[in-house]
Amino acid sequence: MSKIRVATRGSLLALTQTGMVVDRLKELNPGSEFELQTFKTVGDKVLDVALSQIGGKGLFTKELEDALLDGRADLAVHSLKDMPTEFPSGLVLGAVPEREDPRDVVITPDGKRFEELPAGALVGTSSLRRVAQLRAQRPDLEYVPIRGNVDTRLRKMEEGQVAALVMAAAGLHRAGFTGRITEYLDPSFCLPAPGQGALAIEIRDSDSRVGQLVARIHHAPTALEVMAERALLARLEGGCQVPIGAFATFDSGLIHLEGLIASPDGAKVIRYEAEADAGRARSLGVQVAEWLLAHGGQEILASLKA
């Protein structure tokens, strides 16, 4: 087989995640050769503005997708939560590997838990979804945007720019920073982003050779979970500008999904959960989204678009 060209972002975490995928593909496809090609996305270049303020879709994916479409790359590795719910014409989701821990975590330099932070403490996070939920619990704290690589954010905290960080557990685990985690936040306290903890392997829909190769690392339970979460996201038409959470679990043939939409100030947090047969994962996502819209979510979305 000829060399497989793999598109990835150039950050420490992206390269680590892509390396894990490539190692697994090599293991299951001995004899195949892989070549990494790194790209800088809009989200990588604009670091002094919160994601919610940049606008647009595909902030971390477009440049990789362009490389797939024009033939410079054969597959791309993404964090699934960064991917828009609609794929460009000609591209498809080729595989979803087994998910890492989907929860959010708190990191503090002195071991203080979130509930122990003093009033007025600065909490750094890049996510409007996290801010809305955390502000609902602790309106006495100050939440500030903090972007950059995992190690960059940790350094900023050590320098005293913030008293705490709230980040995704999965990235810290994969990048080797598990020991820095102070506290895991239960989904009942802070619902994760749709697709959080999962990776996505994107390919050209016409490339059956690469499709067969990546299918060997596809994890069906994870794919069902993120299908439900992304269906909810698609129905709410949400992106980085809307505080939306979704977390699905697959067990014994059933998918359980909890969804959330909140106002950015945390004053309104609407949650709903439901369960369905795994074969109805996508329709379950739509069902939960419809309930959220009918019980105050529509007003939140309208206010954000005004």
**Spatial CA neighbour of 107 closest among 118, 117, 93, 94:** 117
Length of the chain: 306
Catalytic annotation, pick one of 74, 82, 104, 207: 82
Q: Is residue 245 within 8 Å of residue 299, measured between CB atoms? A: no
Hey, how many other C-beta atoms are within 10 angstroms of the C-beta on 145? 17
Tokens describing residue 159: 């320098």
3-state class of 11 per DSSP? Answer: coil
Nearest to 93 by CA among 253, 4, 276, 217: 217
User: Are 173 and 100 in contact, with CB atoms under 8 Å apart?
Assistant: yes
Q: What is residue 98's DSSP assignment?
A: P
At residue 256, what are phi and psi to the nearest 5 degrees? Answer: -110, 130
Query: Do residues 11 and 80 lie in contact, with contact meaning Cβ atoms separated by under 8 Å?
Result: no
- Give phi and psi for 111, each to the nearest 5: 85, 5
Provide the edge-to-edge strand list for the sheet that holds 244-251: 244-251, 254-262, 269-277
Active site residue 82: yes
CA neighbor of 96 nearest in space, from 276, 219, 280, 253: 219
Name the strand (E) or helix (H) holding 25.
helix 12-28
C-alpha closest to that of 17 among 90, 97, 88 = 97
Which sequence positions are flagged as catalytic? Answer: 82
